[in-house]
Chains A and B, each alone.
Chain A
């Protein structure tokens, strides 16, 4: 009897969340799948069952080059955020000795996350632009005599902005993993004669793997689906899968956008499944 009421109260407590996920996550994703088989003309979408959207999408060489480009952004961003994020987390976890300082410095890293992404992208313009700070500095120092054009509105700018926006997604889970490492293990490694680098390589990195995996999932999925960074920072000169979808939405070609969305979703899920083999998320909380 008691367990019956407690079960019922569990269902009652979870129902608002379940309902929202059903209406605004599950049904919309199913809608995308259904609409990806629909037809369309200039004005509306027409219920149907056709494979044209997929045939066109997968048969076009543009699609493949866009995917390649998006993967390039994802991989580059992943490498840089991982290297920077790991180093920052390592510093915070093992070199900052007082808890107060750890909290203060950690907060310092997280605060920008609470501000608008778009504003953070825009904030690169005065720095990277043709007449921006970096170009003026380089010219004044005599390093270059023409302003460098590739700084803003380029692949470089896209990856820079991605790294700027998302390194925190690496720092937080890796820091979390590192803080759980038993300090006596590191003492033991040192007593056994391991150098700082050896300790890092054979104790800290392996034990930080769950954090690395979670951070990687965040960074890779967010960059794979991104369209606004690519549009703003490449100045419309580069494409990504997300941008292609948003362009198709702009042209009201919803079934085409839906087909692209389904392919993107499958790609992202495959990547995540591969990364999840490395970690059990529920154990990490």
Chain B
């Protein structure tokens, strides 16, 4: 009854102004993306802007021809692999760090401030610093060494901050109960802590994968001889003047959406399982 009366309460005029503002903001966010999505189906003779000159999948086909637009396949698979490595490392390391930070230890604030610094130091400085370091010690920069390290400096702070948020709201009495029942440290983590923080770890996984998959500035001087996808896209912006650029945009954005959907699906499944057990 209380709920019913609440919904019937008249909304103030300001609500409608703010709702309109919000709608415009969403249009501002999605509108441009929508235009390149439509234009990626541009006809064979069409250009970079409207009007549409027919409708075709020509530019998508173009994307998969080696000569037409650099090395799309290779750079995509490198970005995918790098993203997955970054994801696994970030989830494991952030979870460990999150556990460590539940108690005070000497140097904890140093690590905390390093994480914050890692977040606010301009990405190009990380790129330059790692590039110079590898140059001086004469190591060959590679996407799976120097670029991996550069990406981790970007994903760790997010992972750590999410873990802070999770463990701040975590009730330690569950672990105490497990320990009272004779569970070992590892069993407590496996059967009590992990199931409880699972959905957040999926959040960290999605965060770190997409941050790495889309990262440009930190990869610039650290990728070595072979391009990742964002570097390839950036190269295309300077020398490709056909809608194949939009087709690439549509494909990679679609892929990002797929990743988000997978993550949300995984969280939903975990929640349901937990519900069934309870």
Residues of A within 8 A of B (CB): 6-7, 9-11, 13-14, 16-18, 20-21, 23-29, 31-32, 35, 45, 84, 87-88, 90-92, 95, 97, 105, 108-109, 111-112, 114-120, 122-127, 129, 131-133, 136, 164, 167, 196, 217-218, 221-222, 224-228, 232, 242, 245-246, 249, 254, 257-258, 261, 264-265, 268, 272, 281-282, 285
Q: Size range of the interface on B?
A: 35 or more
| Alpha-carbon distance between A105 and B23 when the two chains are bound, in angstroms | 10
Contacts of A105 in B (CB 8 A): 22
| Alpha-carbon distance between A282 and B257 when the two chains are bound, in angstroms | 32
| Alpha-carbon distance between A93 and B156 when the two chains are bound, in angstroms | 29
| Alpha-carbon distance between A27 and B137 when the two chains are bound, in angstroms | 12
Which residue of chain B is the closest to A114 with respect to CB atoms? B210
Residues 244 to 272 of chain B near chain A (Cβ within 8 Å): 245-246, 248-249, 252-253, 256-257, 259-260
* Shortest Cβ distance from residue B47 to the other chain A in the assembled complex, whole angstroms: 8
Q: A21-B156, A25-B118, A285-B165 are in contact. Are A127 and B32 (CB under 8 A)?
A: yes
| Alpha-carbon distance between A29 and B127 when the two chains are bound, in angstroms | 10
| Alpha-carbon distance between A118 and B97 when the two chains are bound, in angstroms | 32
Interchain Cβ contacts under 8 Å between A and B, 9 examples = A28-B126, A91-B22, A97-B7, A111-B257, A118-B237, A133-B50, A225-B121, A225-B217, A265-B125
Residues 84 to 111 of chain B near chain A (Cβ within 8 Å): 92-94, 96-97, 99-101, 103, 105, 107-108, 111
* Shortest Cβ distance from residue A189 to the other chain B in the assembled complex, whole angstroms: 15
* Shortest Cβ distance from residue A153 to the other chain B in the assembled complex, whole angstroms: 13
A246 to B22, Cβ gap below 8 A? no
| Alpha-carbon distance between A187 and B252 when the two chains are bound, in angstroms | 47
Which residue of chain A is the closest to B185 with respect to CB atoms? A9
B253 to A116, Cβ gap below 8 A? yes
Partner of B18, one of A9, A87, A218, A232: A87
B230 to A20, Cβ gap below 8 A? no
* Shortest Cβ distance from residue A54 to the other chain B in the assembled complex, whole angstroms: 16
Residues of B within 8 A of A (CB): 6-7, 11-12, 14-15, 18-19, 21-22, 25-26, 28-33, 35-36, 39, 48-50, 92-94, 96-97, 99-101, 103, 105, 107-108, 111-112, 114-126, 128-133, 135-136, 149-150, 152-153, 156, 160-161, 164-165, 168, 206, 210, 214, 216-217, 220-221, 230, 233-234, 237, 245-246, 248-249, 252-253, 256-257, 259-260
Given contacts A119-B249, A120-B32, A132-B50, could you give 4 more A-B pairs where the C-beta distance is less than 8 Å? A16-B92, A29-B121, A118-B230, A226-B122
* Shortest Cβ distance from residue A66 to the other chain B in the assembled complex, whole angstroms: 14
Contacts of A109 in B (CB 8 A): 25-26, 29
Contacts of A167 in B (CB 8 A): 25
B116 to A14, Cβ gap below 8 A? no
Interface-centre pick from B96, B99, B118 (highest chain A CB count, 10 A): B96
B36 to A225, Cβ gap below 8 A? no
A24 to B168, Cβ gap below 8 A? no
| Alpha-carbon distance between A136 and B49 when the two chains are bound, in angstroms | 11
B30 to A112, Cβ gap below 8 A? yes
A228 to B234, Cβ gap below 8 A? yes
Contacts of A27 in B (CB 8 A): 129, 133
Which residue of chain A is the closest to B207 with respect to CB atoms? A114
Contacts of A265 in B (CB 8 A): 121-122, 125
Contacts of A272 in B (CB 8 A): 120
| Alpha-carbon distance between A125 and B230 when the two chains are bound, in angstroms | 18
Contacts of B29 in A (CB 8 A): 109, 112, 164
Contacts of A123 in B (CB 8 A): 32-33, 35-36, 249
B156 to A17, Cβ gap below 8 A? yes
